Structure 1
Amino acid sequence: MRQNRLQDPDTLGDKIFKIVLPTVLGALAGKVFKTVWDSQVTNRHASAGNGAEEAQQQGFIASVIFAAASAAFGSIISTLGTRGSNALVTRRQNRRSGK
């Protein structure tokens, strides 16, 4: 185990960066997506003036669509964040080793 640890090019800071950056980006993207969604969908439902039952049905459908779209958007942003953090750490390790 000691040999594996010594051969690992990632420092503790590199490992933390690889975990924290995608997590923070995913959370921020989720908040931005929710804010944009709320501003767009809430305005449309408020101006529609539909009956209570129809509004409830549209609210349920909008919730399902929001959940799916938010999960997809968050996943894409987290994946891109993971790729970006890995690339930054690799570049930093190459500079450190003089490659």
Structure 2
Amino acid sequence: MFLLGAIAAEIAATSLMKATEGFTRLWPTLACIAGYAISLVLLSQAVKGVSVGVAYALWSALGTAAIVAIGAAFLGEPITVVKVAGISLIIAGVVTLNLGGAS
């Protein structure tokens, strides 16, 4: 549950990044920083029960995939073959870590 919360907070914070306008807008900046802080606190709790490598791989891979989807759905960013291939490779890497017995 900690890991899912960490991923959700990281996705929220990253989604706010553009709204900060280079950290020049106060409220989006504070929300973005708070989201990253919450994410890291939750991630640090998650690694008490999961290996750091697996937790970080899941945190970064799911966050990256979600941000690409959010960018396409809400920010008008294109989905390209290269993006799909990159996300596929990230997911394959996470699966490989889990199947390889990283614990």
Q: Normalising by structure 2, what TM-score? A: 0.30
**Structure whose residues are more often helix by fraction:** 1
Mark the structure with the bigger radius of gyration. 1
Asked which structure has the greater RCO (Cα within 8 Å, sep 6+), the reply is 1
